[in-house]
C-alpha cells in the first residue's frame, strides 16, 4: 500500500521507505557544525575559474616539477611493494628497496616545494586574510608574505648548496649513493619556491591560484 492510499502526508513517510529524501540542513545547522565547508578541487571543480593564467615560464617549470614528482612517487610505490614481496619471497629480497622508497620520498618532498608554494599548497597561517580581504592592505599583506617567502627560500637554497659539498662524500648504507644527491633536489626545489614566490609580487592584486589536484593526475 502506498503512502497516498494510507492517507499519509509525504513529510510523514518512514525513513526506510523509497522516495523519502531527507530535508537539507538549514543554514543555522551548518553554521553550528565543527566541520565547515572546505574548498578543494573535488568539492569545487571550478576552484580556479577566473584566475589569470600563469606566465609560460611558470607553467613549464610546474610541468617539469610535477613530472619529476610523479616519477619519484612511482619509485616510492616500487620500493614499498618490493619490500612486501621480499617478505613472501625471500629469494628476491633486496635491502636497497627500502632505501629507494625513503630517498624518493625525501626527493619528492623537495622537488615539489616550488609547485606547492606557487599554489598555496604549503602550510600557511591566514590570520589577517579575512579581515583585510578586498582592501589595499590585503594586497600589501600578500606582497610582504611573498617577499618573506622569497628570502626564506633563498636562504634554504644556500644551505642546500653548502650541504651538497659536505654530504657528497657520505654514502647511503644499501645503494652507496652520495647523500649529497638529496640536497640537489633541495637546491632545485627551494630555488623554484623563490621563483614562484617572486612571480606573486607583481600580481598581488589578482586572484591567486589554488592547489588543483587535477593538475597532478597522470
Quote the mean pLDDT of the chain.
77
Boundaries of every domain in the chain: 52-210
H/E element, 135 = none
pLDDT confidence bin for 103, thresholds 50/70/90: very high
What's the whole-number mean pLDDT along residues 99-118?
92
The total of other beta-carbon atoms located within 10 Å of residue 71's CB is: 13
Global confidence as pTM: 0.68
Phi, psi of 30 (to 5 degrees): -65, -35
Helix (H, G, I), strand (E, B) or coil at 196: helix
Of 45, 202, 193, the residue nearest 119 (C-alpha): 193
pLDDT confidence tier of residue 218, bands split at 50, 70 and 90: very low
| Grid cell digits, residue 13 | 513517510
Task: Report which of residues 76 and 125 the model is more confident about.
Answer: 76
Say what the pLDDT of residue 6 is.
54
Distance CA 48, CA 44 (A): 9
Decide: 193 and 114 in contact? Cβ < 8 Å. Answer: yes
Q: Answer whether residue 107 shows pLDDT above 70.
A: yes
C-alpha cell at 21: 529524501
Q: Rounded distance, CA 42 to CA 44, Å? A: 6
Q: Look at residue 150 in the predicted model and tell me its pLDDT.
A: 93
Amino acid at each position: 500500500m502506498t503512502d497516498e492510499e494510507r492517507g499519509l502526508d509525504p513529510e510523514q513517510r518512514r525513513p526506510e521507505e523509497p522516495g523519502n529524501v531527507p530535508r537539507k540542513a538549514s543554514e543555522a545547522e551548518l553554521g553550528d557544525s565543527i566541520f565547515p565547508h572546505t574548498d578543494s578541487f573535488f568539492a569545487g571543480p571550478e576552484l580556479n575559474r577566473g584566475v589569470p593564467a600563469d606566465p609560460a615560464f611558470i607553467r613549464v617549470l610546474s610541468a617539469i616539477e610535477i613530472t619529476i614528482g610523479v616519477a619519484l612517487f612511482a619509485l616510492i610505490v616500487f620500493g614499498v611493494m618490493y619490500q612486501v614481496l621480499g617478505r613472501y619471497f625471500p629469494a628476491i629480497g633486496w635491502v636497497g628497496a627500502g632505501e629507494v622508497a625513503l630517498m624518493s620520498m625525501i626527493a619528492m618532498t623537495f622537488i615539489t616545494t616550488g609547485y606547492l608554494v606557487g599554489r598555496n599548497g604549503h602550510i600557511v597561517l591566514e590570520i589577517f586574510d579575512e579581515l583585510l580581504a578586498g582592501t589595499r592592505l590585503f594586497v600589501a599583506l600578500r606582497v610582504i608574505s611573498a617577499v618573506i617567502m622569497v628570502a626564506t627560500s633563498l636562504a634554504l637554497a644556500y644551505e642546500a648548496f653548502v650541504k651538497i659539498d659536505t654530504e657528497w662524500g657520505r654514502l647511503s648504507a644499501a645503494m652507496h649513493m652520495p647523500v649529497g644527491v638529496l640536497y640537489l633536489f633541495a637546491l632545485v626545489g627551494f630555488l623554484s619556491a623563490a621563483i614562484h614566490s617572486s612571480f606573486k609580487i607583481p600580481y598581488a592584486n589578482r586572484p591567486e591560484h589554488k592547489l588543483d589536484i587535477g593538475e597532478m593526475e597522470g
